[in-house]
Chains A and B, each alone.
Chain A
Amino acid sequence: MTFFSDILARFYRTLIVKDRWLLLLRGLRVTLIIAAVSLVIGVALGVIVAVVKVAHSQKPKSAALKILNAVCSVYINVIRGTPMVVQLMIMYFVVFASSSNGVAVAILAFGINSGAYVAEIMRAGILAVDRGQTEAGRSLGLSSFQTMKEIVLPQAIKNILPALCNEFITLLKETSVAGYIAVEDLTKAGDMIRYSTYDAFVPLVVVALIYLVMVLGLTKIVGIFERRLARSDNR
């Protein structure tokens, strides 16, 4: 009993006194903004890169596609080959040295990072659709664009969605390094409470719980999607 009342007292002291929970709320807002906007950027970039790579694999002779494909390959290799924190700091301290808008830089850095992973997810998803599907579409007189849009992509989405959700979950958790560039996200908010209360337990555990709840919520939503998409599989 004393254990619980002790924990409760600590919660009260660290979060309720002086409205410190407001810090967490503000941090959560920043975390969500960064994760959501960079996901949009990531998906947009990922689609472009994936389309270039798939188009190149279908028409390997086209010179324009060759150059685009080389650029995309470098992008994917560099982004996947370097740590997120380092990329973030390069963006903040080198590329956008004159910008003091940490959130905007973070959004861009996480978006560009996510784009490389999304591209590979999409490419794998598209390639996993049997080649016979494309051949059938083309034989029926559809253009290659129509075949892609009407036949390949709808099937590819089923492959892509679960992996894309994992990517979003990773992205959400990865934004916790944004504190490196003076962004007050959820993790940093927890640190700030830790530094002003000298209590490590409550802020860290609460921050972890908030991340956990967000991730579980996302997993749930994707589960619903997946079941909806699987309906047509039962024949």
Chain B
Amino acid sequence: MPYGIKTADFNTEEHNIMKKFIRILTLALIATLCIGAFAGCGKTPTVDTIRKEGKIVMLTNAAFPPFEYVDGSDIVGVDVDIAREIAADLGVELEIQNMEFDGIVGAVQSGKGAIGVAGMSINEERLQSVDFSVEYVKSKLVVLVSSDNTEITTPDALTGKSIAVQTGTTSDVFASDIKDATISRYKSFLDAASALNSGKVDAVIVDEMTAAEILSANAILVQLADPLTEERYAIAIQKGNKTLLDAVNTTLNRLISEGKIDEYIYNHTAAGTEAEG
């Protein structure tokens, strides 16, 4: 029966392909396990290792004025000023790494940088991965809308609307809980603001100080009077890195008691920049 023979041949061929496929899959699995074995060895940037290397690495996302933003070709801001003080107190250089905001907690966790200073609010999820310093700024989440928007006048009206936020921020967490809202997650608040500016979304949820910066550059946007939640900014440090946490807290407490942080904020907000120029 020729038909039967043909089927048998076909089966062996298929069988061979399957065997080869399984072999490749097994090898790929082994390779993955090898990578996994590597992954265990993250490092801990203690005060000692930082002093030995002569530099402290600050992880941030330079799209969050006035806390961190690009001025000309340099990354500056309130957080950068604070980090400089921390570096000076430790007697080391400051190195700034500008990365995606949603990667900062993970990078602090694996010791890629010593401190995550990015206007980062303390929240439950982050506390499970990293430790936080003392709070150095209190802020609020606010809502920005287009000035001709008559529909959204209170935060309650956000239900069912389209909202732009930055990925992985507390705004993202907050917006995700709004009923029936469509969330657009952008790589930065400034991208979110652009989307609002061009009418792609109905509203942006953002921290109040960044909102002020966005408003000063975009005349057609307004801020709702009622804030959403309280935010408390702190510096993220690898879990259990006690020596560094103490060093950072010492510097922060000094800056807070000297009134330096308010001074930094004034210097980096529109008011301060205008007074300068």
Given A97-B111, A98-B43, A198-B218, are A19 and B72 neighbors across the interface (CB < 8 Å)? Answer: yes
Q: Are B103 and A20 in contact (CB under 8 A)?
A: no
A99 to B31, CA, bound (A): 20
Asked whether A181 is an interface residue with its Cβ less than 8 Å from the other chain, the reply is yes
| CB proximity to A under 8 Å, residues B178-216 | 187-188, 190-191, 193-194
Q: Are B28 and A78 in contact (CB under 8 A)?
A: yes
In the complex, what's the smallest C-beta–C-beta distance from A60 to chain B, in angstroms?
A: 14
**Chain A residue at minimum C-beta to C-beta distance from B44:** A98
Q: Are B39 and A94 in contact (CB under 8 A)?
A: yes
**Chain A residue at minimum C-beta to C-beta distance from B57:** A100
Asked whether A225 is an interface residue with its Cβ less than 8 Å from the other chain, the reply is no
| Cβ-Cβ contact count across A and B, 8 Å cutoff | 95
**Chain B residue at minimum C-beta to C-beta distance from A98:** B43
Binds A, one of B8-16, B63-71, B154-162: B63-71
Q: Are A195 and B27 in contact (CB under 8 A)?
A: no
Mark contacts of B235-255 with chain A using CB atoms, 8 A cut-off: 1 yes-contact digit, 0 otherwise: 000000000000000000000
From B38, B107, B112, name the one whose CB has the most chain A CB atoms within 10 angstroms.
B112
Chain B residues within an 8 Å CB radius of A191: 63, 187-188
A117 to B192, CA, bound (A): 37
B31, B73, B191: which contacts A23 (Cβ < 8 A)? B73
**Chain B residue at minimum C-beta to C-beta distance from A198:** B217
A172 to B24, CA, bound (A): 30
Asked whether B106 is an interface residue with its Cβ less than 8 Å from the other chain, the reply is yes
Size band of the A side of the interface? Answer: 35 or more
Binds B, one of A69-77, A144-152, A226-234: A69-77
Asked whether A193 is an interface residue with its Cβ less than 8 Å from the other chain, the reply is yes
Q: Are A192 and B217 in contact (CB under 8 A)?
A: no
Chain B residues within an 8 Å CB radius of A179: 100
Given A74-B24, A90-B35, are A100 and B106 neighbors across the interface (CB < 8 Å)? Answer: no
A22 to B28, CA, bound (A): 43
A77, A95, A184, A198: which contacts B24 (Cβ < 8 A)? A77
Asked whether B99 is an interface residue with its Cβ less than 8 Å from the other chain, the reply is yes
Q: Are A193 and B70 in contact (CB under 8 A)?
A: yes
Given A98-B43, A180-B100, are A93 and B110 neighbors across the interface (CB < 8 Å)? Answer: yes
In the complex, what's the smallest C-beta–C-beta distance from B143 to chain A, in angstroms?
A: 19
Asked whether B139 is an interface residue with its Cβ less than 8 Å from the other chain, the reply is no
A19 to B91, CA, bound (A): 31
Chain B residues within an 8 Å CB radius of A97: 38-39, 41-42, 110-112
A20 to B74, CA, bound (A): 9
Q: Are A184 and B217 in contact (CB under 8 A)?
A: no
Q: Are A195 and B72 in contact (CB under 8 A)?
A: no
Contact sample, A vs B, 8 pairs, CB 8 Å cutoff: A18-B72, A20-B73, A71-B27, A77-B24, A90-B35, A98-B42, A179-B100, A198-B194
Task: Give the interface of A toward B (CB within 8 A).
Answer: 18-20, 22-23, 26, 70-71, 73-74, 77-78, 90, 93-95, 97-100, 102, 179-182, 184, 188, 191-196, 198, 200
